[in-house]
Amino acid sequence: MAFMNEDLKLKAEKAFGGVIRTSSNTVIPFNKEEHETKERSRLARALVYSFLFGIGIILICTPIYNLNVATDLRLSLFNILTTYSGLLGPFVGVIAGYYFKN
């Protein structure tokens, strides 16, 4: 077997015009379940961070908006946060609860 590998290495060196370096390390096989778990975890984290980023934007931008408009056009920070959390909170809660359980 080693003789065949050396022969193939010599053929490759001739074909490509130089020394071909090979690694003696074994290749780690692809684990589909581990890959899917990492990918789902990454997506869940991105969703949770996006949700928190949205809350941060609301907490920063609503008071700035309210400072620059007339009194009758002001927005209620509590109502905006309640609506935002009511719409997206259940999705984030289900995903976070499922993927972050350990």
Rounded CA-CA distance 2/68 in Å is 77
Instruction: Note whether residue 7 is domain-resident.
Output: no
Instruction: Note whether residue 49 is domain-resident.
Output: yes
Instruction: Note whether residue 60 is domain-resident.
Output: yes
Rounded CA-CA distance 99/94 in Å is 9
Number of domains in the chain: 1
Instruction: Note whether residue 5 is domain-resident.
Output: no
**Which residue ranges in the chain fall short of pLDDT 70?**
1-6, 12-13, 17-28, 30, 100-102
Rounded CA-CA distance 84/88 in Å is 6
**The pLDDT value given to residue 21:** 60
Q: Which domain holds residue 60?
A: 31-102
**The pLDDT value given to residue 39:** 81
**The pLDDT value given to residue 76:** 93
Instruction: Note whether residue 3 is domain-resident.
Output: no
Is the pTM higher than 0.85? The answer reads no
**The pLDDT value given to residue 95:** 83
**The pLDDT value given to residue 64:** 95
